[in-house]
């Protein structure tokens, strides 16, 4: 890989904080076999991309459309939301932990491997099995989160935040479905 990449940039975090820091790298199931072997690194995203630009600190969540860089947090302040809400932070923390289950785990020596509890690699073996198992993991979490939300329903708020998950390669297309429904049912004009 290139000298400067996500792994080399994040490795110092693991070297200094490996007891309370975890680096997980999602690998698209579409990049495998000959495609994985011969596709230039810069083109990998063309085959599929899943990135959650989330930063969670206690009960505070930053949802960003940009990379974590000084330029975006000073000159492009339209690119992120800061939300202080325990339940929403917990939801996204849970979502990230589910995705970590089937993502590559990086160690302090910059080696990567699958989570020990996960039997299906995204880039080898049966692709359908990986997609179904990973998709089921996320779908199950979304159902649990929906049930949890129903228990804590509250009245009297003028603003709602509805997290939508889009992981098309795993068969999860909430965002596309809801956007399509909103646009098709919107009044003309």
Residues annotated as catalytic (active site), given as ranges: 51, 53, 58
Task: List strands edge to edge, sheet with 80-84.
Answer: 54-57, 60-64, 80-84
Is the distance from CB of 81 to CB of 53 less than 8 angstroms? Answer: no
The DSSP bridge partners found for residue 57 are 60
What SS3 state is found at 73?
A: helix
CA distance 120 to 33: 15
Burial class (CB in 10 A: 0-12, 13-18, 19+), 156: exposed
Please tell me the distance from the alpha carbon of residue 60 to that of residue 63, in angstroms, as a whole number.
10
Residue 11 · residue 110 · CB < 8 Å: yes
Return the closest-CA partner of residue 167 out of 102, 89, 88. 102
């Amino acid at each position: 890989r290139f000298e400067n990449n996500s792994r080399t940039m994040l490795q110092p975090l693991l070297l200094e904080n490996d007891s309370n820091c975890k680096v997980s790298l999602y690998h698209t199931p579409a990049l495998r076999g000959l495609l994985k072997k011969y596709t230039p690194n810069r083109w990998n995203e063309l085959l599929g991309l899943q990135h959650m630009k989330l930063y969670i600190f206690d009960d505070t969540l930053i949802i960003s459309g940009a990379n974590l860089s000084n330029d975006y947090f000073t000159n492009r302040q339209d690119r992120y939301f800061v939300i202080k809400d325990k339940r929403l932070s917990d939801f996204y923390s849970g979502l990230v932990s589910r995705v970590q289950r089937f993502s590559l785990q990086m160690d302090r020596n910059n080696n990567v491997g699958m989570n020990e509890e996960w039997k299906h690699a995204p880039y080898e073996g049966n692709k359908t099995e990986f997609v179904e198992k990973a998709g089921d993991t996320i779908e199950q979490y979304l159902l649990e989160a929906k049930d949890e939300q129903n228990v804590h329903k509250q009245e009297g708020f003028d603003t709602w935040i509805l997290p939508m998950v889009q992981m098309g390669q795993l068969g999860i297309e909430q965002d596309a479905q809801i956007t399509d429904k909103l646009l098709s049912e919107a009044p003309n004009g």
